[in-house]
Chain A
């Protein structure tokens, strides 16, 4: 049986009817064509599917779509303002903080959640915040640098 749900997706109110066994990740990718969040492990270990629900990062593969009812969901697609990239996205580009790019949307959303709560995190706090996101290219150093650059800019 399909369930009717209403939620805010990237600042827009949406209503949809969805089967209960569909995960939030599947709904985002297959119903809304938001393919930024990716399925890596499907078990909450890699963080490639990280999105923000009510401002908190979580694994979209471990949440049912029906559980999004009444929440506010933000995906990497919702960060840019029109064609203007979020400062964190621009920083990832400036620092070459990606190789294959598979982990990037998840990394950015975890880091974004941290910066929303604490605009000037320390390097230790950044590393802690992205510890649930795996980068199999092992490009962590530049990712941390990209987030720290935003932290330093916010501190000025």
Chain B
């Protein structure tokens, strides 16, 4: 691997200052399961690697009846999945997190890292989109909260400004149960990236749909949701919803699948997702 400087700040203020100081030449190291591969492959060439795991408050996970579930940036995916409230109230997110990499990867990788990489196929992104999650950010101007809907800008681009660090992800409280599940369509069951993935849920009488690996960022299928408002999920309605969802996407062909194949799978995932919440 290329050489770099290793810095391990103890506070957010210090971490942010280092990121400002090194600018584009700094990379944040959290679980490292993506960054170290990129450095090794020469895609990332940081001069300084800023390890944020020395900042204690980023390791917290907590639930509050008003604020909801707050998952610190350095909570690894396996620890997150085992948090009882997550399994009880936001099962879809636990399901999606469980499909990331392998057990070994999940013992290191974090949800903050998963979304900050801003890969169009990030497994935790679509559940966060249907749950209207908020991303907590610390930066030179202090703390702010950004909606997950404003967080992803493009492939591997987020709204984070210079010196900003994701500190936690917060998922709001829902009075009604969140019904539905995460679907990951890959080439094999274990340790694979999604060819297409998606989250379809029903919260109260509202249907919400998000899709991944179908556009430059993970997306909410807003128009499809609008179409479904107040409708019974009959076979015809589901079939039409799948067609509308397809028009909201812009899939590409790549190493994992062709554009045409993805278009088929998008419709299949939407149909299956809607079918499953109809039965529940």
Binding site for B on A (CB under 8 A): 1, 3, 19-23, 42-45, 47, 50, 53, 56-59, 61-64, 66-67, 110, 113, 128-129, 131-133
B85 on interface, CB distance cutoff 8 Å: no
How many residues from B make CB contacts under 8 Å with A? 27
Residues of A within 8 A of B107 (CB): 53, 56-58
How many Å lie between the Cα of A116 and that of B5 in the bound state? 36
Secondary structure call for the A interface: mixed
How many Å lie between the Cα of A98 and that of B4 in the bound state? 39
Residues of B within 8 A of A63 (CB): 32, 36, 108
Binding site for A on B (CB under 8 A): 1-6, 29, 32-33, 36-37, 39-40, 49, 51, 53, 78, 101-105, 107-108, 189-191
Residues of A within 8 A of B2 (CB): 21
Which of B4, B6, B104 contacts A58, CB < 8 Å? B104
B191 pairs with A131, CB closer than 8 A: yes
B191 pairs with A20, CB closer than 8 A: no
Residues of A within 8 A of B102 (CB): 44-45, 47, 59, 131-133
Residues of A within 8 A of B103 (CB): 57, 110, 113, 128-129, 131-132
Q: A131-B190, A132-B191 are in contact. Are A23 and B104 (CB under 8 A)?
A: no
In this complex, which of B33, B40, B102, B108 has the most chain A Cβ atoms within 10 angstroms of its Cβ? B102
B3 pairs with A19, CB closer than 8 A: yes
Nearest to A22 among chain B residues (CB) is B1
A62 pairs with B33, CB closer than 8 A: yes
Which of A3, A21, A47, A110 contacts B3, CB < 8 Å? A21
B104 pairs with A44, CB closer than 8 A: yes
